[in-house]
Amino acid sequence: MSQVKKVVLAYSGGLDTSAIIPWLKENYDCEVVAFVADVGQGDAELEGVEAKALASGASACYIADLKEELVADYIFPTLKTGAVYEGKYLLGTSMARPIIAKAQVACALEVGADALCHGCTGKGNDQVRFESCFAALAPQLKVIAPWREWDMRSREDLLNYLAERNIPCSASLEKIYSRDANAWHISTEGGVLEETWNQPNEHCWAWTKDPEEAPDAAELVSVKVEHGQIVAVDGEAMSPYNALVYLNKKGIEHGVGRIDIVENRMVGMKSRGCYETPGGTIMMEALRAVEQLVLDKECFDFRQTIGLKFSHLVYDGRWFTPLCQSLLAAADVIAQDVNGEVVLKLYKGNVTAVQKRSDNSLYSEEFATFGEDEVYDQSHAEGFIRLYSLASRIRALNEQKK
Amino acid sequence: MSQVKKVVLAYSGGLDTSAIIPWLKENYDCEVVAFVADVGQGDAELEGVEAKALASGASACYIADLKEELVADYIFPTLKTGAVYEGKYLLGTSMARPIIAKAQVACALEVGADALCHGCTGKGNDQVRFESCFAALAPQLKVIAPWREWDMRSREDLLNYLAERNIPCSASLEKIYSRDANAWHISTEGGVLEETWNQPNEHCWAWTKDPEEAPDAAELVSVKVEHGQIVAVDGEAMSPYNALVYLNKKGIEHGVGRIDIVENRMVGMKSRGCYETPGGTIMMEALRAVEQLVLDKECFDFRQTIGLKFSHLVYDGRWFTPLCQSLLAAADVIAQDVNGEVVLKLYKGNVTAVQKRSDNSLYSEEFATFGEDEVYDQSHAEGFIRLYSLASRIRALNEQKK
Amino acid sequence: MSQVKKVVLAYSGGLDTSAIIPWLKENYDCEVVAFVADVGQGDAELEGVEAKALASGASACYIADLKEELVADYIFPTLKTGAVYEGKYLLGTSMARPIIAKAQVACALEVGADALCHGCTGKGNDQVRFESCFAALAPQLKVIAPWREWDMRSREDLLNYLAERNIPCSASLEKIYSRDANAWHISTEGGVLEETWNQPNEHCWAWTKDPEEAPDAAELVSVKVEHGQIVAVDGEAMSPYNALVYLNKKGIEHGVGRIDIVENRMVGMKSRGCYETPGGTIMMEALRAVEQLVLDKECFDFRQTIGLKFSHLVYDGRWFTPLCQSLLAAADVIAQDVNGEVVLKLYKGNVTAVQKRSDNSLYSEEFATFGEDEVYDQSHAEGFIRLYSLASRIRALNEQKK
Amino acid sequence: MSQVKKVVLAYSGGLDTSAIIPWLKENYDCEVVAFVADVGQGDAELEGVEAKALASGASACYIADLKEELVADYIFPTLKTGAVYEGKYLLGTSMARPIIAKAQVACALEVGADALCHGCTGKGNDQVRFESCFAALAPQLKVIAPWREWDMRSREDLLNYLAERNIPCSASLEKIYSRDANAWHISTEGGVLEETWNQPNEHCWAWTKDPEEAPDAAELVSVKVEHGQIVAVDGEAMSPYNALVYLNKKGIEHGVGRIDIVENRMVGMKSRGCYETPGGTIMMEALRAVEQLVLDKECFDFRQTIGLKFSHLVYDGRWFTPLCQSLLAAADVIAQDVNGEVVLKLYKGNVTAVQKRSDNSLYSEEFATFGEDEVYDQSHAEGFIRLYSLASRIRALNEQKK
């Protein structure tokens, strides 16, 4: 193994990264700096994380509050594109990886580290996302992926490894479901979900109420959109992160934002997960509702094309690429006209835009009933249709001559 | 006006087409044959339609039962593409137009007519769809679109026109909402919907229960899919049309398939409508669930691309074109592997695939836990990532040298 | 005909627009202002144009020099997208229409006109392009399209019309080929070209030497590109327009840039034309050569997708739309890295990039022969391939189990 | 190394695969069967190849004549899609890989082998293409890629390796350029081409005459196309392979089909090569010329989209996938109308379609000059334009109200 002096580890405080600290020190004979990204995964996960890192042998632990930046600079731009992976997935884990990688790299450069380390397994997407971002941001730094190097294969192995070294760890042996959370979403994998014919059970959902147990009374929430970004909720101006927190509460209460998906991973296999994106699902519906008012047919189609393309780009960890910037620039132009207000109804898992308006609306009663000679003369339709269908007509006449 | 001897009118029995019969005879001095397409719009609309046509002055009335063909040859192929217009609309009216046009043309050729007539208004999509199909199928026939020719502008005008001629008509003066129905869907436009800030009210929904009044108990329904087509429901083999009727009942009961949309019409303006597609929404969810199991990443993406493209094609009335056949052929190949079973839960407006399996599934617990050397070696991931991110790495190294 | 007081006519000095001036005055009883756009069509066409306009009855004639703006703000951005219509056409006429329309509208607003007029025929693209731009820029102005209104159908009709009014006109009765020129290109239609089985003859080419008569000695020309724009040619910094003029001379001499195409017009019919774009063809080849060095696989693919989409947008006259701005923004981001130098060989109709280099090049001998552990380890390929082909492997194993 | 008993090697008779035979026997203690694919690389390469294989230690040598199948089942379908990689490359090497892999797998199954071997290097595309095809066709077979396993790094290493074993080999120490040939094309890489600023020299072109030394007299060749396939040349019906051979001769003589490209490899790096596709370039031009006559605007655009997508699919070695079948099915439908005749002029590197006709042509003088009321009424254009530009008009009116 090549020479490493100081490595910055993306540290979560969980079992895996707790074991990685001593393993790095033993196997690379290097200093280990723990880097913790606060992307809104919740106070429970962050509590005491620094003490844990130091107890595991880290020389230092840095915690970066990335919550506002995550929502403002990664989630909101993605929302403008309308990206949804494979028709369902709102890209919760995917969007958080580039910002964590970027902050981790910044930390590494700050502390003069010569290597980066993450705790992702060798069968998943996240290793690809992290390392693709590392390659784009700091190709000179060595990357260490312990799960692809060591022989440990189970929680038991890890717990034994820590116990042998007298490193305290509160993790339990049994952990049926694996979860990943940030401000935008929480994912649950494993357990009964490993068989696609199994229904998800109550343990597969971590945040949201079961729609069947959500309130019997629907609730309305209003959202204000400017240039494709949510700027106020229920009449109050809010920062992107605060808007998300506010809408998460509403969505969780009404069972909004659950999906149960089998998806194609980047590494060629499929996986199944239950994902919850309560506030995000409301935001998505709100933006799409304003788009209905303001985008013309070609623009709407192109926005959908961008969204489809961007869903792969984000899922595939290609954030720090020219292609990403290009797609974001295209979406940003389209979003300039996406201004308006939407009232959404939340009810037992449903979120429905029931009222919408925009100063940029291309729909208007006034136009629809305009005097004929001013905007639309019904007789124009004949000419439109004749030219529109001319190629079909010529083709058919050709056929008849044969 | 050019010489017309016999015209075949797409007749519905409603006020508009009832007035068109005498108007054609007076203005074109021609024989009028009424053609009624039964696309599943319901017995109420069809009852006594022949008598009505004759009473209005038609020389004959032909009724064609197109229900099974509509579902089998137009809806099911469209479902394979996954087409959804502007992210929401399941193309209910759009898919019915080509089959009606085709049958109407066949009728015209049969009876030796020299013209075709429809009752679509001059601001809508349907005129374009009908006439594009006519152009592709029978360019030699003249097309008459009375709403673009006559001076009548209101229901009152039409009622007076009929009254003056002593033609019986049961239509009422007030008809706030305009509706279009077939086996797949019903649409509602007008009234309070003309202002996008208005919420839809109870009159805006014609078929489905309000989710808030749907049963408190969820219901499961199982669907069997072969080659991208639904072949059985709840364990019973069903024809395409029968499966749709069966699922419509379920969907209606549980408030499934409502959308409230502002969409871009082909003719450049936006319109707003409330559409209900109860069984279709269940079908769509079922097919997409099987796709999750069997399509790889590139195939899934291409199916989505086809779906986006096909949504415009169908919406725009381009069914009888080479492009349509090309897209359908592409979707059909992809659908070959779409085999499996899905159990869906219906609950207060939600339809969720909760169980799914397929013999073609690319997901399998077995593969996911396969021995390392047989299908997937975690160490392979490093090589994958290095090559996958190589261009980013080179670009970044380039930048650092500057 | 509705009331018009002052109309601004896009005036060329040719027979059609010369006849339009008196026709407008007689039929609309209005003042006619002639607007001449100098888009590089050549001195011959512009000579004496003001005198002609006044002699035909115009109250004033404004000439706007749009040459530099055309190349800098319309052609160069289009080149970044790589747009080529239907695989061949470099969009010469299409790109000039929006800038002419924009300047004509500006003139109309300046002189207080209430209408705009153009001399395009009713079967072509240009009427759609002009009027789409007018709709986007000045929807309040009435548009008059004489060729769709009057009864004149031939050059003879027009000459007679002018002769009856004693308006001098040097146009000849016979004009077999119709041409449109600007700084970028010249198009030729009509005559022998109306039958696709006819070869173009010498009259079908207006600018370029026949490759068979071009010099026997090849010539090299070098081009410098910054951010996707040509900034210097043969070592000399040049404005966009000057670079085009310079390269036109070279291309004309070597028979570069001829195409003979049957294309789909917007109005549903096909037309055939011979187009010459000598300098533009060199520019296009130069930009594409630099792109080969700097764009990664995904970026290159997306640039091609944008180019395909933009070719329709420009051809279809949709310049002043949000979609256009969106596509241009996307292309502009990608072009940021398109920096470098290219040497091109011109020889008897061929233009070939024979040398190319770029500071942003992702190709480099150095990388290709890099030590294995630094950028590329051949053993990485195995892992890449295993994951890359994993879905195929699983599908095949599935099949074998059946 | 896992147990291997019999391996089938894709054998070319060149230095690399000659060394692989003894290396496999020594390192895997297995029987080696040589498989030679005749894809039209030329008699020189095939002469004595069996004797060479046996002399190197192969237990048997099978030669499969794949020439006709390559052109008929791989090249012709690809031509229908119009695929061109990164705007230039006609996919010569890429298209040959799947058929070789398929025949090699068939041979392996026939002789009861348990492994497959190829001589591709670890930095190239071909390893990915071969192994992706192997994964799709015979995932149970082990794959051996010596260049990723052994320590040899140069021709000298290989020559020494053979000399030590007394295996005769006529290969020379110096081989500056690396070439790959089949019926469709020949590629040249290495040498002066490794620096992009170097012009290709005479050694970089293997087949075609330098355009500057090609005949001074142009030559015409006529091609007949049915359903997107070339069925006759110069009036004579020919099989796909024979047509290619015939056109290769013509193209070679006139210097047609040279490209000098820097391309993105699948493995993340760029490479530069000079490729010659003389007959293929003529075929491509011929098919595209017929398409101009028969495809309508939307179809043409979709064919281009398919072509762009298919270029990556073929380049990336994904032939044996559902996506490939889907794209081919789409292209095949579009090709149904691609019938006609083209005359092409060959002159000093240029190939130009100078005459074209088709019974399916949507262009026709007759239509273009049709009486107004039959197919195209110029007055229809106004209605078309009004509706076509309606969204722009509404948007502009909106803006003016602000």
- Our CA-based measurement puts residue D140 at a distance from the nearest CA of chain B, in whole angstroms, of 9
C chain contacts of residue D225, beta-carbon cutoff 8 Å: none
- If you compute the radius of gyration of chain B from its CA atoms, what whole number of angstroms results? 25
Q: Chain B contact for D326, CB < 8 A?
A: yes
- If you compute the radius of gyration of chain C from its CA atoms, what whole number of angstroms results? 25
pLDDT at B35 over 90: yes
Reported as a single tens digit per residue, the pLDDT across B185-220 is 999 999 999 999 999 999 999 999 999 999 999 999
- Count the Cβ atoms, other than its own, within 10 Å of residue C372: 12
pLDDT at position C370 is: 43
pLDDT at position B366 is: 66
Quote the CA–CA distance of B335 and B295 in Å, as a whole number: 9
Backbone angles phi, psi at B369, to 5 degrees: -110, 10
Q: Chain C residue with minimal CA distance to B395?
A: C362
pLDDT at D250 over 90: yes
Which residues make Cβ contacts (< 8 Å) with residue A325, sequence separation at least 6? C333
For residue A383, give the nearest of D297, D381, D397 by CB distance.
D381
Q: Is A339 annotated as a binding residue?
A: no
If we measure between CA atoms, which residue out of C214, C215, C237 comes closest to residue C224? C237
pLDDT at C372 over 50: no
pLDDT at B319 over 60: yes
Within 154-183 of B, beta carbons closer than 8 Å to C belong to none
Average pLDDT over chain B, rounded to an integer: 94
Which residues make Cβ contacts (< 8 Å) with residue C355, sequence separation at least 6? C341, C342, C343, D196, D197, D198, D199
pLDDT at A372 over 60: no
Q: Which residues of B are annotated as a binding site?
A: 10-18, 37, 89, 94, 119, 121, 125-126, 129, 178, 187, 263, 275
pLDDT at C386 over 90: no
Q: Do B398 and C361 touch (CB under 8 A)?
A: yes
Question: What is the bridge-based pairing of β-strands D229-233 and D236-237?
Answer: antiparallel
Q: Interface pTM (ipTM) of the complex?
A: 0.96
pLDDT at position C300 is: 98
Q: Chain A contact for C373, CB < 8 A?
A: yes
- Indicate the SS3 state at residue D186: strand
**What is the average pLDDT across A124-139?**
96
Reported as a single tens digit per residue, the pLDDT across A321-343 is 999 999 999 999 999 999 999 99
Q: What is the strand order of the sheet D142-144 is part of? A: D60-65, D31-38, D6-10, D115-117, D142-144
pLDDT at position A369 is: 52
D chain contacts of residue C356, beta-carbon cutoff 8 Å: 196-197, 262
Q: Do B391 and C359 touch (CB under 8 A)?
A: no
Q: What is the strand order of the sheet B60-65 is part of? A: B60-65, B31-38, B6-10, B115-117, B142-144
Quote the CA–CA distance of A204 and C172 in Å, as a whole number: 83
Q: Which residues of C are annotated as a binding site?
A: 10-18, 37, 89, 94, 119, 121, 125-126, 129, 178, 187, 263, 275
Reported as a single tens digit per residue, the pLDDT across A6-22 is 999 999 999 999 999 99
pLDDT at D371 over 70: no
pLDDT at C83 over 50: yes
pLDDT at position B172 is: 83
pLDDT at A106 over 80: yes
pLDDT at C381 over 90: no
C chain contacts of residue A267, beta-carbon cutoff 8 Å: 387, 390
Average pLDDT over chain A, rounded to an integer: 94
Q: Which one of A38, A56, A97, A303 is the catalytic residue? A: A97
Half-sphere exposure of C207 (CA within 13 A, CB side): 31
pLDDT band at B373 (very low <50, low <70, confident <90, very high): very low
Lowest-pLDDT range, A166-180, A227-241, B294-308, C202-216?
A: A166-180
pLDDT band at C382 (very low <50, low <70, confident <90, very high): confident
Q: Chain D residue with minimal CA distance to B125?
A: D387
Q: Is A94 annotated as a binding residue?
A: yes
In three-state form (DSSP H/G/I as H, E/B as E, the rest C), the secondary structure along D209-268 is CCHHHCCCCCEEEEEEEECCEEEEECCEECCHHHHHHHHHHHHHHCCCCEEEEEEECCCC
Q: Which residues of B are annotated as a binding site for L-citrulline?
A: 89, 94, 125, 129, 178, 187, 263, 275
A chain contacts of residue B195, beta-carbon cutoff 8 Å: 365
- Our CA-based measurement puts residue A310 at a distance from the nearest CA of chain D, in whole angstroms, of 17
Q: Which helix (H) or strand (E) holds A400?
A: helix A390-401
Q: Chain A residue with minimal CA distance to C395?
A: A269
Q: Chain A contact for C355, CB < 8 A?
A: no
pLDDT at position C172 is: 83
Interface test mutation site (partner B, options D263, D315, D321, D333, max chain B beta carbons within 10 A): D333
pLDDT at position D388 is: 87
- Our CA-based measurement puts residue D222 at a distance from the nearest CA of chain B, in whole angstroms, of 27
Question: Active site includes A296?
Answer: no
pLDDT at B154 over 70: yes
pLDDT at position A159 is: 94
Q: Do A296 and D379 touch (CB under 8 A)?
A: no
Chains touching A, CB cut-off 8 Å, 3+ pairs = B, C, D
pLDDT band at C371 (very low <50, low <70, confident <90, very high): very low
A chain contacts of residue C336, beta-carbon cutoff 8 Å: 322
| Cα B288 versus chain centre, distance | 17
Reported as a single tens digit per residue, the pLDDT across C311-331 is 999 999 999 999 999 999 999
Q: Which one of A73, A155, A178, A316 is the catalytic residue? A: A178
pLDDT at C77 over 60: yes
Q: Cβ(D25)–Cβ(D53) under 8 Å? A: no
pLDDT at position D349 is: 98
pLDDT band at A217 (very low <50, low <70, confident <90, very high): very high
pLDDT at position D373 is: 46
pLDDT band at D179 (very low <50, low <70, confident <90, very high): very high
pLDDT band at A371 (very low <50, low <70, confident <90, very high): very low
Scored b (16 or more CB within 10 A) or e, D340-352 reads bbbbbbbbbbbbb
- Our CA-based measurement puts residue C264 at a distance from the nearest CA of chain B, in whole angstroms, of 15
Fold (CATH) for A6-70+91-175: Rossmann fold (3.40.50)
For residue C264, give the nearest of D261, D297, D343 by CB distance.
D297
Average pLDDT over chain C, rounded to an integer: 94
Q: Do C6-70+91-175 and C179-295+337-357 share a fold? A: no
Average pLDDT over chain D, rounded to an integer: 94
Interface test mutation site (partner D, options B267, B296, B333, max chain D beta carbons within 10 A): B333
Within 258-297 of C, beta carbons closer than 8 Å to A belong to 264, 267-269, 295-296
Size of interface A-D (CB pairs under 8 A): 80
Active site residues of C: 16, 97, 126, 178
Query: To which CATH superfamily is domain B179-295+337-357 assigned?
Result: Argininosuccinate synthetase, chain A, domain 2 (3.90.1260.10)
Segments making up each domain of chain A, as ranges? 6-70+91-175, 179-295+337-357
Residue C95: both structure tokens together: 């790109």
- Our CA-based measurement puts residue C385 at a distance from the nearest CA of chain A, in whole angstroms, of 10
pLDDT band at D134 (very low <50, low <70, confident <90, very high): very high
Full-model pTM:
0.97
Interface test mutation site (partner C, options B362, B388, B399, B402, max chain C beta carbons within 10 A): B362
Q: Chain C residue with minimal CA distance to B391?
A: C296
Question: Active site includes A97?
Answer: yes
Q: What angle do CA C302, C306, C307 make, to 5 degrees?
A: 115
pLDDT at position C42 is: 93
pLDDT at position B382 is: 87
Q: Do C135 and D389 touch (CB under 8 A)?
A: yes
For residue C393, give the nearest of B360, B375, B386 by CB distance.
B375
Q: Chain B contact for C381, CB < 8 A?
A: yes
Residue C108: both structure tokens together: 């109309």
Interface test mutation site (partner D, options A386, A388, A389, A392, max chain D beta carbons within 10 A): A386
Q: Chain A contact for D394, CB < 8 A?
A: yes
Q: Do D362 and A398 touch (CB under 8 A)?
A: yes
pLDDT band at B375 (very low <50, low <70, confident <90, very high): low
pLDDT at B371 over 70: no
B chain contacts of residue C381, beta-carbon cutoff 8 Å: 383, 387
pLDDT at position D372 is: 47
For residue D299, give the nearest of B322, B337, B373 by CB distance.
B322
pLDDT band at C270 (very low <50, low <70, confident <90, very high): very high
- Our CA-based measurement puts residue B323 at a distance from the nearest CA of chain C, in whole angstroms, of 15
Q: Which one of D56, D97, D303, D311 is the catalytic residue? A: D97
Maximal CA-CA distance, chain A: 90
pLDDT at position D169 is: 85
pLDDT at A2 over 80: no
For residue A381, give the nearest of B127, B264, B392 by CB distance.
B127
Reported as a single tens digit per residue, the pLDDT across A161-205 is 999 999 988 888 888 899 999 999 999 999 999 999 999 999 999
Quote the CA–CA distance of C248 and C256 in Å, as a whole number: 9
pLDDT at D168 over 90: no
Q: Do B196 and A301 touch (CB under 8 A)?
A: no
Lowest-pLDDT range, A147-156, B104-113, C335-344?
A: A147-156
**What is the average pLDDT across B320-340?**
98
Lowest-pLDDT range, A149-153, B17-21, C187-191?
A: A149-153
pLDDT band at D172 (very low <50, low <70, confident <90, very high): confident
Q: Which long-range contacts (CB under 8 A, 24 or more apart) does B27-31 make?
A: B27/B1, B27/B149, B27/B150, B28/B1, B28/B4, B28/B115, B28/B144, B29/B4, B30/B4, B30/B5, B30/B6, B30/B115, B31/B5, B31/B6, B31/B7, B31/B59
For residue B268, give the nearest of D318, D373, D387 by CB distance.
D387
Quote the CA–CA distance of B344 and A199 in Å, as a whole number: 10
Instruction: Provide the strand spans (E) within A138-269.
Output: 142-144, 177-181, 186-190, 219-226, 229-233, 236-237, 258-264
